[in-house]
Amino acid sequence: MFEDIIKLIKNKYNSENYISLHEPVFRGNEKKYLEECIDSTYVSSVGSFVDKFENLMNDITQTNRTTAVVNGTAALQAGLRLVGVKKNDEVITQALTFVATANAIAYNNAHPIFLDIDLDTMGLSPDAVSDFLEEFGEIREDGCYNKSSGRKISACMPMHTFGFPVHLDELVKVCDLWKIPIVEDAAESLGSEYKGKPTGSYGEVGAFSFNGNKIVTAGAGGAITTNNIKIGERAKFLTTTAKEPGTIEFIHNELGYNFRMPNINAALACAQLEQLPVFLDNKRSLAKDYELFFREKGIKFRTETNNTKANYWLMCVELENKSDYDYFLKHTNDSKVMTRPVWELMFKLPMYNNCQRDSQKNALFLKERIINIPSGVR
Ligand SMILES: *Cc1c(COP(=O)(O)O)cnc(C)c1O
């Protein structure tokens, strides 16, 4: 049975070479824009491609103040600070995620609280957040506090796992009720939609990544999105060293970051963003083929949930049986078809094993079953 899977994937990618999970594809204006950028000499921290990139992202995410930054982790780190996360605060997130999500919280000297995911979305569960806050939450004048630690819970950061949106309406409702701002980790979900609106536009702030393995790449890059003009302007200010505007003097009245996306990276990103609709279609058709194939084999292939459109960044199968799971991983990788287990749960990492968490029933269940399969644009 697993022989057929390897054959299918090699056919789909028309290749006998090593097939990775996700590779960048450059079929648009990449070389043209890079050449233009070099000819202009504006390869560094400002330039017209940065502006163009921010405008393209406003359109794609239906938000009105994008700030281009150096990578997705920086977007998350600054995003948390922008909604008011301070030293010793707490931030609710999920344990099934890439380490950058939790690290961004720690970089703000805040503490993650790991709450469970939903089985259908693989992302932060609104019910788990509600249950936790019913038990431990307390609303005070300046926000929500955790009765068990005495600390302020100053943000909630869901992650749209592999591009499948979390239940955003329900999550927004719970977080509004408890006065907790949402920072969406949309690093994996550029182009995904929930009820017809892009991910990254529901929270106070959204954060995107343009790393080489994401659906669209800038080499390295990130973006902070928001509909709140004040937050948007502050995002630009803080990520460009917090230099006071309107003077030729170098005056900095607070601690800013050098998180700027270089113009040369923005040039690459612009050419890639122009192809996003094509990439989305291409991946969607691969997902359709996988779906039909795996259904016949009786293997569960992850498809988008009701009311959502996934970008199918990384596609995955769910294997019930431990020996099938082990065999699938080994056999595919031995046959030059890359497959990969999902990330280790955050509370199992030494930096985060003392953090508060709930039962993690669903995260533990899926950690042992989900395997990513090649998902790149063909
Ligand atoms: C890729 C990714 C990031 C970080 O993005 P970088 O651009 O690599 O810093 C953050 N969170 C998640 C969930 C990611 O997948």
Report the separation in Å between the CA atom of 247 and the middle of ligand 1, taken as the mean of its atom positions: 35
User: What is the overall mean pLDDT for the chain?
Assistant: 97
What is the pLDDT, as a whole number, of residue 347?
A: 98
What is the pLDDT, as a whole number, of residue 328?
A: 95
What is the pLDDT, as a whole number, of residue 1?
A: 74
Long-range contacts of 235-240 (CB under 8 A, 24+ apart): 235/65, 235/67, 235/78, 235/79, 235/82, 235/205, 236/65, 236/67, 238/78, 238/81, 238/82, 239/67, 239/69, 239/74, 239/78, 240/45
Q: Is the pTM of this model over 0.95?
A: yes
What is the pLDDT, as a whole number, of residue 127?
A: 98
Strand-pair category, 152-157 with 143-146 = antiparallel
Q: In this structure, are residues 192 and 198 in contact, taking their beta carbons and an 8 Å threshold?
A: yes
What is the pLDDT, as a whole number, of residue 247?
A: 85
Q: Does the Cβ of 161 fall within 6 Å of ligand 1?
A: no
Compute the CA torsion angle 169, 93, 114, 85 (nearest 10 deg): -120
Q: Does the Cβ of 187 fall within 6 Å of ligand 1?
A: yes
What is the pLDDT, as a whole number, of residue 246?
A: 85
Nearest CA owner, ligand 1 atom 6: 72
Q: Of 252, 293, 247, 207, which is closest to residue 4 (Cα–Cα)?
A: 293
Report the separation in Å between the CA atom of 76 and the middle of ligand 1, taken as the mean of its atom positions: 9
Tell me the one-letter amino acid at 263. Answer: N
**pLDDT tens column, 173-200:** 999 999 999 999 999 999 999 999 999 9
Residues of the chain with pLDDT under 50: none
What residue segments make up the domains of the chain, in order of their start?
2-20+276-347+356-369, 30-274
Report the separation in Å between the CA atom of 191 and the middle of ligand 1, taken as the mean of its atom positions: 15
Report the separation in Å between the CA atom of 3 and the middle of ligand 1, taken as the mean of its atom positions: 33
The residues, ordered by sequence, that sit 6+ positions from 173 with a Cβ below 8 Å of its Cβ are 126
Q: Right CATH number for 30-274 from 2.40.30.110, 3.40.50.10320, 3.40.50.620, 3.40.640.10?
A: 3.40.640.10
The CATH number that domain 2-20+276-347+356-369 falls under is 3.90.1150
Report the separation in Å between the CA atom of 210 and the middle of ligand 1, taken as the mean of its atom positions: 8
Q: Does the Cβ of 199 fall within 6 Å of ligand 1?
A: no
Q: Does the Cβ of 73 fall within 6 Å of ligand 1?
A: yes
What is the pLDDT, as a whole number, of residue 67?
A: 98
Q: Does the Cβ of 75 fall within 6 Å of ligand 1?
A: no
